[in-house]
Structure 1
Amino acid sequence: MWYLNMNAVMAMAGMVLVLALTRRWADNKRLLLLAFNLCFLLLFSQKLLAFYLAYTALNYLAFLFLSHTSRFRKGWFILLIAANVAAVCSLRLFGMEVFTHPLFDVVMVLGLIYNVLKVIDALYFAYFFCKDARAKVVDYFNYILFIPTFTSGPILKFRDFMADTKQPYRVDAAQTESSIKRIILGLFKKIVLVTWMTDVFDHLSGQELYTHQSLFLMVWFYALIYFDFSGYSDIAIGFGRLMGYNIPENFKKPFQSPTLTQYWRNWHATLGDWFRDHIFIFFSRQTPTKWTAAGLSILIMVLIGLWHGFSWLYLLWGVYHGVLIALENLLGKTTVNKKKVSRTYFYARCALTQLLVTAAVIVYSGKSETVLHIYRGLLNWPF
């Protein structure tokens, strides 16, 4: 979101310059970054800043409590996660105008579905590492409020962010060059490609559709969301690394995934990793059976669908992907080793995976009217 506003981009570029000029100050990456994060949110929205100060402070206290308490730890752990999930769900319902309240402002939900995942990851760390789970208040606030990944990820892992925090600010010429190139590439995707592709999609989808047009729009929209989100990730990764933090990759050649299981490790990788790690850890501490893995696959994909939006379209999208991944687990087809199969077989499996993804990708538009219009067009033969 920030990256379509040149003032925000220049502010982050200015922060990178300040960090570079103060690199000899041991705490520059911690204290100056916190000041930048807070000032950025203040200028964007006072309500947003007030909400996140309260939200982050409460969760930091919960983090400290969970890491030091010895009684009923599992119960507190579940309760704290449930409280965060309930709070996010409530705010999203307010944003959908299911509920109304004069104190609610839609800006409060900005980035919340990403930040709650970071909060829960920190709670997991506190629960499993107890008193060894340490984080100073400055570093915890920076973790939640980190501006480059605030609104759309990639999703940062608590442990990795804290490890980066302990390292002094070191960004050499090669890192600077590669990060700037990454930012320029991301801006090109977001501002040039996505803008043009969105205009084309809106123009064509507003017309009466036939089979070939609906098929074209589904493929076109798939490419559109790839450039949109990978562009955002490129910019976030570039600025994050210029600020001294190793932001994880979000897209790892997803179009060369021979199974849906592998696809979700490569497309929006940090989201798939988060749900897989946390759900499997919670429900299956040991290696799961095929049936357990299949059931958890459906649960994870349904949760990912509802995470994207509270609608029957996202629910069905989650069930669709979950059932397909469950079948891969039951049939023992979750992975394909490129070195052990023929080139033709490998790329045929990649093509099949992309076909299955494309069949449901239009759901990401979030508009039921558009989705149904395009699906109806598939049945509208031009002869």
Structure 2
Amino acid sequence: MWYLNMNAVIAIIGMVLVLALTRRWPGNKRYLLLAFNLCFLFVFSQKLFVFYLVYTALNYLAFLWLCRTTRWRRTTFVLLIAANVAAVCSLRLFGMELFTHPLFDAVIALGLIYNVLKVIDALYFAYFIGKEARTKALDYFNYILFIPTFTSGPILKFRDFMVDTKQPYQVDAAQTEENVKRIILGMFKKIVLVTWMTDVFNHVSAQELHTHQSLFLMVWFYALIFFDFSGYSDIAVGFGRLMGYNIPENFKKPFQSPTLTQYWRNWHATLGDWFRDHIFMFVSRQTPTKWTAAGLSLLVMVLIGLWHGFSWLYVLWGVYHGLLLGLENLLGYTTVNKRKVSRAYFYGRCALTQLFVTAAVIVYSGNSEAVYKIYRGLANWPW
């Protein structure tokens, strides 16, 4: 995580200043940004630098091949995606110590679960657009290695990034003020709120838990991860936009979502958009039936669960959300138009949605013992 390292933050601020001072040079966003991305990774970790240099170069060659080839396009496309997914799975298994190798270092996996999604998005673009999708190595490397969003998103779309790359650096005073304020807000969330809330969570969870304490921890943890991840997103979006790129929003008022379908378009929005674009829409290009939509919802949520981590808890989390989304599709309750229903009905549906989310949100902690303890505590009534 760059943004908890003061040296890294100073380096990123320095890059923003360099871009601002060289704004009259049309190529400053492209050439200076590539130099910064590579130097930043090299200083942070030479192993990380070498791995991503090789990984990005190989995928760029694959991208160009897919743009040009006319034979075995679909097979090549599927094999390239499978190879990238296999690479991520292998590194996860090494991280879980199911396999060991002296060359493995946990830092190599840093950001890969996000960056592989960008690689696959570029492959989709090459597959469907063909020769016109070709882009220079300089811009492809900047897309994959873009430092502000490198470790935890938001997930950038290849097409949008390339459009921004062609635009000159045009960050004005008003945009600078807005994004600096956003970065400060994100830092406050990450450094002040999350630190304090984590201490409270650890203190309460260390005790013997009863029903009211488990309920408190589930709600508290939900708020904690919101401030944690939205704080990171605020910082990433702020710095990315100060560098001249239109970074997409990750959180779009998720607590005002009256259905789970709408919730997953507003919470970690770029992740939900990615799975919807690359799996849901690809598998069912025509308007899906309710049963097809329900089945695909289950598949997508299980895959999102596995994307978060290789454990049965995440699989069950995915099945839980997938079944709820499937029911919404089957019953026709995927959306609620705020203007066509009463305020009481709308906010009642929002509260119900948050109740469903809160029931499983503790799985995000990644600590199976803590999760089991909190769920056991729900049945421990204080008599």
**TM above 0.5:** yes
Q: 1:187-210 CA distances to partner (integer Å, 9 max, x unpaired)?
A: 000000000000000111011000
Corresponding residue for 1:363? 363
Q: 2:192 corresponds to which letter in structure 1? A: V
Q: Secondary structure at the match of 1:359?
A: helix
- Is the 2:259–2:353 contact (alpha carbons within 8 Å) kept by the matching residues of 1? yes
Q: 1:334 corresponds to which letter in structure 2? A: T
Corresponding residue for 1:70? 70
Compute the displacement of 1:135 (Å).
1.2
Q: 1:157-205 CA distances to partner (integer Å, 9 max, x unpaired)?
A: 0000000000000100010000000000000000000000000001110
The answer to whether structure 1 residue 50 and structure 2 residue 45 are counterparts is: no
Q: Secondary structure at the match of 2:247?
A: coil
- Partners of 1:348 and 1:316 lie apart in 2 by 26
Compute the displacement of 1:106 (Å).
1.0
Compute the displacement of 1:16 (Å).
0.3
- Partners of 1:67 and 1:281 lie apart in 2 by 21
The answer to whether structure 1 residue 124 and structure 2 residue 138 are counterparts is: no
Corresponding residue for 2:331? 331
Corresponding residue for 2:10? 10
Alignment of 1:1-383 (within 5 A): 1-383=1-383
Q: 1:92-123 CA distances to partner (integer Å, 9 max, x unpaired)?
A: 10111100111111111000000000000000
- Partners of 1:65 and 1:280 lie apart in 2 by 26
* Runs of 5+ unmatched residues, structure 2: none
Compute the displacement of 1:282 (Å).
2.3
Compute the displacement of 1:285 (Å).
1.4
Cα RMSD (Å): 0.5
- Is the 2:211–2:382 contact (alpha carbons within 8 Å) kept by the matching residues of 1? yes
Q: Secondary structure at the match of 1:82?
A: helix
Compute the displacement of 1:62 (Å).
0.4
Q: Secondary structure at the match of 1:360?
A: helix
Q: 1:225 corresponds to which letter in structure 2? A: I
Q: Structure 1 residue runs of 4+, over 2 Å off?
A: none
- Partners of 2:115 and 2:330 lie apart in 1 by 34
Q: 1:33 corresponds to which letter in structure 2? A: L
Task: Work out the percentage of aligned pairs sharing the same amino acid.
Answer: 84
- Is the 2:280–2:300 contact (alpha carbons within 8 Å) kept by the matching residues of 1? no
Compute the displacement of 1:28 (Å).
0.4
Q: 1:236-256 CA distances to partner (integer Å, 9 max, x unpaired)?
A: 000000000000000000000
Q: 1:41-68 CA distances to partner (integer Å, 9 max, x unpaired)?
A: 0011000000000000000000000010
Q: Secondary structure at the match of 1:11?
A: helix
Q: Secondary structure at the match of 1:325?
A: helix
- Partners of 1:204 and 1:37 lie apart in 2 by 41
- Partners of 1:117 and 1:70 lie apart in 2 by 24
